[in-house]
Amino acid sequence: MQSEIVNMRIIRHLLVLLMHLSLGTFAERFSNGYYYQDIVNGNGGMYFHRIRLHVESSEPLVSAVQGSNVTLPCHYRYEPELNSPRRTRVKWFWQPEPGGVQERDVMVAIGTRHRSYGDFKGRVRIRRSAPGDASLVINPLQSDDTGRYRCEIIDGLEDESTTVHLKFRGVVFPYYSSKGRYLMNFHEAKEACEQQDSHLTTFEQLFAAWEEGLDWCNAGWVADGTAQYPVSVPREACGGTHLAPGVRSYGARDKDLDRFDAFCFTSSIRGEVYFLQHHSKLNFTEAEEACQNDGGHIAKVGQLYAAWRFVGFDQCDAGWLADGSVRYPIVTPRINCGLSEPGVRSFGFLPKHLKHGVYCYKVRW
C-alpha cells in the first residue's frame, strides 16, 4: 500500500511536469493576470509582443461635498503603446464603507454605449477626455455615495482594475442644547445633529477638523460613543498646559446616563442659504414666517455652516436660525464683525421675542 501511494505521487508529479512542458510557450499566457501574447504577422514572420495593460488612478482618495459633482480618476494604457485602439470595456463597481457589503454595479461602457445601475442611474458618466480616460463623473453627489469605487478595464482576456475611495468633505461644528451645556445623552446628541441637517461626527472627521484648526473646550459626543474635544492651543482653562495639543478623549461613555455637548458633521450644498432682505427686524415667529413667505425655510445650523465653509458665505448680520439661536458667518474677518478668525459667530439661544435678521434656506433640487 505504502509504496503504491508513493508511486502515485511520482506519477502525478510527472504528469504535471509533462503538462507544463507540452503547454510550453502558452503557459506564460495563463500564468499571470497581466501579460498576454499578441501575435503580429509581418513580412511573413511571426513576432511575439508582450503587451501589458496598466490601469491607474491619479487620485486614490477623493473628497467632495454632497450636492456637488465629483470625478473619480481612472486611466488605462498599454505598454508598449498600441498603434491602433483596442476595444475595451469599462466597468465601475461600488462598495459602501465599511466593507462587508458586496460590490454593486455602478456603470458599464463599451465605446459610446453605456448603462448605469440602481441609484446611479442618470447621475454617472465616463469622462473620456483623452484616450484611456475612464474616469467616472458623478453629478450630483448624494448622501449615500461614499465608499470604495473600483474601475475595471476589460480587454479580451485581460482585466485590470484600480480603486478610488470617495469620502465627503465636510465641516464639524460644536453643538449644545438650547437648555444649556452638557445636557445631552448620546441619543439626544445624535438627534440634535440630525435636526440641524447634519450627523454626529466620526472620530476621523473630528480629527481632520482639529488638523484644520478646530479648537473647542467643551467635550462633545462622537459617533462611536466616546466624548472628546479638540485643542489646538493648550491652556489652563482647557485641561491645562501640561498636555500636548490634540483631540482629547474621555473614552467610551454611558450612552444613556452621561451628558455632554455634540460634535456634528455636515457636508451638503444642495440648497442655498441667504440673509433675508426685510424692511424691519423680526422676532423668531416672524422670522420663520418671513422665510416661508419667501418660498424657503428658516435655515438650520448645519446649513449655515456648510454655506460658510463651501460657498464662502459671509454676512455681518446677526440672524435667527431654526433652533432659536442667533448667528452669522464670517469668511473675511473685519472690524465690528466679531473675532479675528473666520467662523460662524454665535450669540447662543436668545429669547424669541427679540428682534433680529433671519437666515433662510431654499432647496435647489
Ligand X SMILES: *[C@@H]1O[C@H](CO)[C@@H](O)[C@H](O)[C@H]1NC(C)=O
Stretch that binds ligand X, among 10-18, 36-44, 45-53, 278-286 (CB under 6 A): 278-286
**220-221 vs 147-155, strand pairing mode:** unpaired
* Closest distance of CB 284 from ligand X, Å: 5
Is there binding between residue 353 and ligand X (CB under 6 A)?
Answer: yes
Stretch that binds ligand X, among 107-115, 268-276, 277-285, 339-347 (CB under 6 A): 277-285
Is there binding between residue 87 and ligand X (CB under 6 A)?
Answer: no
Is there binding between residue 286 and ligand X (CB under 6 A)?
Answer: yes
Q: Which is nearer to ligand X, 229 or 308 (CB)?
A: 308
Stretch that binds ligand X, among 11-19, 73-81, 90-98, 281-289 (CB under 6 A): 281-289
CB within 8 A of 354, min separation 6: which ones?
283, 284, 326
CA dihedral 201, 206, 207, 209 (to 10 degrees): 130
Residue nearest to ligand X (CB): 353
Residue 249, by phi and psi: left (phi above 0), alpha (psi -120 to 50) or beta?
beta
Q: Contact letters (x/-) for ligand X, 243-262, by CB under 6 A?
A: --------------------
User: Which residue in 176, 216, 284, 308 binds ligand X (CB under 6 A)?
Assistant: 284
Is there binding between residue 285 and ligand X (CB under 6 A)?
Answer: yes
Q: Which is nearer to ligand X, 263 or 284 (CB)?
A: 284
Q: Contact letters (x/-) for ligand X, 51-70, by CB under 6 A?
A: -----------------xx-
Q: How many residues bind ligand X, per CB under 6 A?
A: 9
Is there binding between residue 352 and ligand X (CB under 6 A)?
Answer: yes
* Closest distance of CB 314 from ligand X, Å: 20
- DSSP per-residue letters across 21-66: HHHGGGHHHHH-SSEEEEEEEETTEEEEEEEEEEEE-S-SEEEE-T
User: Which residue in 281, 283, 294, 316 binds ligand X (CB under 6 A)?
Assistant: 283
CA angle 333, 338, 341 (to 5 degrees): 45
Is there binding between residue 181 and ligand X (CB under 6 A)?
Answer: no
Is there binding between residue 31 and ligand X (CB under 6 A)?
Answer: no
Say how far apart CA 114 and CA 257 lie, in whole Å: 54
Q: How many residues comprise the chain? A: 365
* Closest distance of CB 16 from ligand X, Å: 56
Say how far apart CA 218 and CA 174 lie, in whole Å: 8
For residue 151, the SS3 value is: strand
Cell 503557459 maps to which residue?
Answer: 27
Q: Which is nearer to ligand X, 154 or 350 (CB)?
A: 350
CA 306 to chain centre: 15
Q: Which is nearer to ligand X, 207 or 284 (CB)?
A: 284
Is there binding between residue 272 and ligand X (CB under 6 A)?
Answer: no
Q: Which is nearer to ligand X, 160 or 323 (CB)?
A: 323
Say how far apart CA 263 and CA 113 lie, in whole Å: 46
Say how far apart CA 95 and CA 145 lie, in whole Å: 9
Q: Which amino acid is at 334?
A: R
CA quadruple 248, 250, 255, 260: dihedral positive or negative?
Answer: negative
Bond into 329 cis (ω within 30): no
Stretch that binds ligand X, among 81-89, 205-213, 250-258, 284-292 (CB under 6 A): 284-292
Q: Which is nearer to ligand X, 13 or 352 (CB)?
A: 352
CB within 8 A of 172, min separation 6: which ones?
201, 205, 206, 208, 209, 214, 263, 264, 265
Stretch that binds ligand X, among 101-109, 166-174, 253-261, 280-288 (CB under 6 A): 280-288
CA 121 to chain centre: 19
Is there binding between residue 139 and ligand X (CB under 6 A)?
Answer: yes
Q: Which is nearer to ligand X, 174 or 357 (CB)?
A: 357
216, three cell numbers: 473647542
Report the interface residues with ligand X, using CB under 6 A: 68-69, 139, 283-286, 352-353
